[in-house]
Structure 1
Amino acid sequence: MSMQTLKVLSLLLSYPEAEMLEAIDEMAEVVEQENLLLEDHKKSVLALIDSYRGADLMDSQEDYVALFDRGRFLSLHIFEHVHGESRDRGQAMVNLLQMYEAHGFEMSTHELPDYIPLFLEFLSQQEQAEAMQLLQDAMPVLSLLGARLTERGSEFRAIFDALAGFAGEPDELEEIRQQVATEGEDETVVYMDEIWEDEAVSFMGAGDACKSQTPAASPITITPREQFLKAQNRSL
């Protein structure tokens, strides 16, 4: 059973394109009829969809870039928040890509496997039980992003609240919220497109070292919890 609500959340979290603005009525209808989300979360997601009605595409794109592409705190790449620039990130992406391929899911060549909108699109095509399990594995990162968006008063927090309502909140949620409340501004000054391009080259060049390692359990499992929290402390 496909879950098109997750596809809608994927589109809402992607860089705004004209096709998305033309499909907002259809997106709202999916959220309403599929009724996958908790009522409060559904209302917030519908409000986010409504915010695009009559919106100027270029303004929406500029706002999106200013929010998600001007630092690392709100990077939409899962392993950015777990492994940073360590070698473990390349292997983690290889494992995730292997999972996609095992399910017959073909990804765009210009996105890394851990890009959250891509991950949500993949989940939308899976059985609900499997999608929920994979989301639960990713919830420490998703809750971190949701908390940071809440601190910024962004409507995009509705997406992450909805995912938490669907999959459940992580055990370390309180620690994540405490960290976000005290971490201050993201002062990273980087050109994210160049960084991601360099990291994509490193990922694709992982070579034979990755072939002998088969992913056990979920390729996005974030354990132990201390590893995730330490990664966040290093980013401050």
Structure 2
Amino acid sequence: MRILKVVSALLCYPQPELIAALPELTEAIAAERALPRREREALLALVDRLERSELLTLQEQYVALFDRGRALSLHLFEHVHGESRERGAAMVELLELYRRAGFELAARELPDYLPLLLEFLSQRPAAEARALLGDAGETLALLGARLAERGSDYHVLFDALGAIAGAPATLAAIRAQAASEGPDPAIVDMDKLWEEEAVTFLAPQQGGGCPSTGAGRAAQPLQRMPRPAPNTPH
């Protein structure tokens, strides 16, 4: 599902390589038929805004959204497990899923990083990709609803994922939750949290783990593992 690779790229920290690839992404979105027209047009409008904006401004906006606090973290298991032991076990299980499919994690990024997961799913059969997106449907819907509440047009990326996988049955409740939430405590009390909380996972790097936006433009975060050659009779 090529559209998942497009969404993955657009969810990454804006860099010159991404801006250079925007015309290519525009073509891919316009040609995509796995998305309803409304979602395609919304994605095209987002790409148009990225093209018309200064890179530094885009980077500042991205950091303010995704790199400060936890409410909009792109590490999915953080929303499900926090920093508990269960998150570590879920990481191992997801890594094993990548490996069973013949991929090895090459980037210094956690396996639950959403752009990385989407890069993986873009190379899987459509039915499998939809099923795995559906498993994360409530978390994705909550992220999209929080972005919409903040007036960020990044929410259209999550609308697109919902259109592909199907909206969760709890969507109305999720949107109500997002509308009723106050400021992110992790931002309000950031200094206190940094002092008191032990770090249990590697911090994500800006732009790390993101897929290439075109041939040769960036390192691939996922690499196919060579299959062992079958034994041959002597």
The alignment's TM-score, normalised by the length of structure 2, stands at: 0.80
CA distance in 1, matches of 2:2, 2:173: 32
SS of alignment partner, residue 106 of structure 1: strand
Q: Which amino acid aligns with 1:62?
A: E
- Cα pair 1:107 1:118 within 8 Å, conserved: no
Q: Which residue in 2 is equivalent to 1:81? A: 79
Deviation per CA, 1:195-224: give whole Å up to 9, x if none: 8974139xxxxxxxxxxxxxxxxxxxxxxx
- Cα pair 1:31 1:46 within 8 Å, conserved: yes
Assess, with a 3 A threshold, how the Cα gap between structure 1 residues 163 and 174 changes in structure 2: closer, same or farther.
same
SS of alignment partner, residue 188 of structure 1: helix
Q: Which amino acid aligns with 1:200?
A: L
Of Structure 1 and Structure 2, the greater helix share is in: 1
CA distance in 2, matches of 1:115, 1:157: 17
SS of alignment partner, residue 53 of structure 1: helix
Q: Which residue in 2 is equivalent to 1:127? A: 125
Comparing 151-160 with 166-175, which one deviates more in the overlay? 166-175
Query: How many residues end up aligned between the 2 structures?
Result: 199
Q: Which amino acid aligns with 2:201?
A: E
Match of 2:163 among 162, 165, 174: 165
- Cα pair 2:26 2:44 within 8 Å, conserved: yes
Deviation per CA, 1:44-70: give whole Å up to 9, x if none: 011111111142222211110011111
Q: Which residue in 2 is equivalent to 1:117? A: 115
Deviation per CA, 1:107-144: give whole Å up to 9, x if none: 23311000000011111001100000000001110000
Q: Note the residue ranges of structure 1 that are not aligned, 5 or more in a row.
A: 202-236
How far the C-alpha of 1:36 sits from its partner, in A, is 1.8
Assess, with a 3 A threshold, how the Cα gap between structure 1 residues 97 and 193 changes in structure 2: closer, same or farther.
farther
Q: Which residue in 2 is equivalent to 1:200? A: 202
Q: Note the residue ranges of structure 2 that are not aligned, 5 or more in a row.
A: 204-234
CA distance in 2, matches of 1:23, 1:66: 23
Q: Which residue in 2 is equivalent to 1:34? A: 32
Q: Which residue in 1 is equivalent to 2:10? A: 12
User: Counterparts of 1:83-162 in structure 2 under 5 Å?
Assistant: 83-162=81-160
- Cα pair 1:93 1:114 within 8 Å, conserved: yes
Q: Which amino acid aligns with 1:114?
A: D
Give the superposed CA RMSD. 2.2
Q: Which has the larger radius of gyration?
A: 2
Deviation per CA, 1:79-129: give whole Å up to 9, x if none: 000000110000001100100111122323311000000011111001100
- Cα pair 2:83 2:200 within 8 Å, conserved: no
CA distance in 2, matches of 1:199, 1:93: 11
CA distance in 1, matches of 2:153, 2:168: 21
The alignment's TM-score, normalised by the length of structure 1, stands at: 0.79
CA distance in 2, matches of 1:55, 1:29: 19
Q: Which residue in 2 is equivalent to 1:216? A: none
SS of alignment partner, residue 93 of structure 2: helix
SS of alignment partner, residue 104 of structure 2: coil
Comparing 142-151 with 164-173, which one deviates more in the overlay? 164-173
Q: Which amino acid aligns with 2:172?
A: E
How far the C-alpha of 1:193 sits from its partner, in A, is 11
